[in-house]
Structures are given as C-alpha cells and as structure tokens.
C-alpha cells in the first residue's frame, strides 16, 4: 500500500501542512520521497505510527514527548496501548461525570465541583511523560536511536523485533537449562544483546547496559514482556548483566 500525501491526509484526518511539519521534526517521515518531483508517499507502517501519534495527541501529549516515546528502543506497542487505554478510560469517566452533572443542573439539582476534577488523569499523563523524558529525553543514546531508526521500513522493524525475540528466547533457554547468570553462555548472550542494541539503536556502553538490566526487573511492563519467553527470564538477564558489567 502506497499513498500520496493527500490521500494519507484524508485517511488520517490530518492536514497536509501538519504532515509536512511532522516530517520536518522527524516525528513521522514519509516512507518514500520521489526525487524528481519531491512528492511524499506513505505506507502501512506510516499508518501504524500515525495511529500511535493520534492516540497520544488525543491524550494531549506534547509532540516532543510523543517523539521520545515512539523513538525509544524499548518502546513496546502492546504496553503503550494498555497505557493509552487506561488514560482514555480516566478521560471517559470524567466526561461521564460532567454529563451527569449537566443532567442534574438541568433538573435544578445541586452539583458538586468534583465533577470538574481532572487531577487523576493529569497526574497519570504527567507520570507517563516524565518516565519517557527521564529515560530518553536529551540523551545522546536517544538522539542516536532516533537518527538510526528514522528510515526503518516495516520489513526492517519486523526483522529487528524478530531478532530481539530470538535473543530473549535464548536467554530463557539458557536459564531453563540450569546455567547460572555468571556462566560463560550467559555472558555470551549478554554480549550478543549489547551488540544487537548497538547495531540497531545506539551505542550501548556498559553503563547504559547496566541501567537497562535494572529496568528490566524494576519496571513491571518490561518484566512482563520479557517473562513471556519464560518465567523469571527478566531477573536472569538482569543478574547476568550485573556480572558482565562488573
């Protein structure tokens, strides 16, 4: 599927001018630009990324935070969808309270100011944005990752994600075989994981790798995603990385 920018704009409900701006700030690059006439074209991968952008826009996230989240090498779409759903449910609940308050006001009944309270949604959204900024915003790793991945095609992303799953499965198999986190096999896999991140995202120093290892167990979202390959795989990887980085 290949769409001219006007077709893509009509399909997504976003203006051509906005798409030009997204291209300029590297939030959403065209999948193909005709060198002869400069026409921009978009594909299915572009559409998937735009859907994520629109979800975050609906939740009033600033574009710079959307860029950080979507360009993160640890971005997990399923976890992101869960976060977005949670925030949208909070937004929905507030709208329902407002509608109920309006119905009461129309009947001449007294209403409380609690109906206008939006603090829980704002707090959750700010926490989500804060996590993205703390993890990646302003870091050399983030900038390098954004630059390296900006032109990845759907096929390239599928290849990267498949390779990532394969390495995680190797860690799970290593643990299941009875190998310790400080075994030669575990160290080989940690080196393989470090090289994979460097090749596909950003230069993964031992310092960065150590931080990632801790995050795999400290953040429930990452732990759950990794442990789908095998129970306690995230903990095994974390311990192996600690040994490797010493």
Q: Are residues 111 and 158 in the same domain?
A: no
Describe the chain by its helix, strand, coil percentages, rounded to 5: 70, 5, 25
pLDDT, position 173: 95
**Quick check: is 42 in a domain?**
yes
- How far is 23 from 5, CA to CA, in rounded Å? 11
Whole domain around residue 45: which residue ranges? 3-58
- pLDDT tens digits, one per residue of 131-155: 665 655 555 666 677 777 777 777 8
**For position 237, what pLDDT does the model report?**
95
| Interacting residues of 11 by C-beta distance below 8 A, sequence separation 6+ | 3, 47
Is 70 part of a structural domain of the chain?
Answer: no
Domain assignment present for residue 8? The answer is yes
- With respect to residue 237, please indicate whether it lies within any of the assigned structural domains: yes
Ranges of the chain with pLDDT below 70: 72-75, 125, 128-143, 219, 221
37: exposed, middle or buried (Cβ count in 10 Å: 0-12, 13-18, 19+): exposed
In this structure, are 161 and 237 located in the same domain?
yes
User: Within this chain, do residues 171 and 237 fall inside the same structural domain, yes or no?
Assistant: yes
Q: Please check whether residues 236 and 164 belong to one and the same domain.
A: yes
Let me know whether 86 and 33 are in one domain.
no
Residues 175 and 121 in one domain: no
Quick check: pTM over 0.75? no
**The pLDDT of residue 199:** 92
Asked if residue 97 is part of any domain, the answer here is yes
| 216 and 168 within one domain | yes
Q: Tell me: do 210 and 166 sit in the same domain.
A: yes
CATH of the domain at 184: 1.10.490.50
C-alpha–C-alpha distance, residues 63 and 36, integer Å = 31
pLDDT value at residue 8? 92
What is the tally of structural domains in the chain? 3
**Predicted local distance difference test score (pLDDT) of residue 34:** 84
């Amino acid at each position: 599927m290949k769409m001219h920018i006007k077709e893509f704009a009509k399909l997504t409900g976003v203006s051509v001018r906005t798409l030009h701006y997204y291209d300029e700030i590297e939030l959403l690059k065209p999948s193909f630009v005709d060198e002869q006439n400069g026409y921009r074209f978009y594909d299915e991968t572009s559409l998937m990324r735009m859907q994520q952008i629109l979800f975050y826009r609906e939740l009033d996230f600033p574009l710079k935070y959307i860029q950080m989240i979507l360009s993160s090498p640890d971005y997990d779409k399923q976890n992101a969808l869960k976060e977005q759903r949670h925030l949208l449910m909070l937004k929905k609940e507030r709208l329902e309270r407002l509608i109920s308050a309006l119905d009461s006001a129309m009947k001449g009944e007294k209403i409380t100011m609690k109906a206008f309270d939006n603090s829980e949604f704002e707090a959750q959204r700010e926490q989500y944005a804060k996590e993205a900024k703390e993890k990646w915003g302003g870091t050399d790793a983030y900038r390098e990752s954004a630059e390296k991945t900006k032109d990845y095609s759907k096929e390239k992303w599928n290849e990267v994600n498949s390779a990532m799953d394969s390495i995680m499965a190797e860690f799970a198999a290593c643990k299941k075989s009875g190998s310790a986190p400080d075994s030669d096999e575990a160290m080989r896999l940690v080196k393989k994981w470090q090289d994979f991140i460097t090749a596909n995202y950003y230069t993964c120093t031992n310092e960065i790798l150590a931080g990632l290892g801790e995050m795999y167990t400290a953040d429930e979202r990452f732990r759950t995603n990794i442990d789908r390959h095998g129970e306690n795989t995230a903990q095994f990887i974390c311990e192996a990385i600690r040994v490797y980085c010493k």
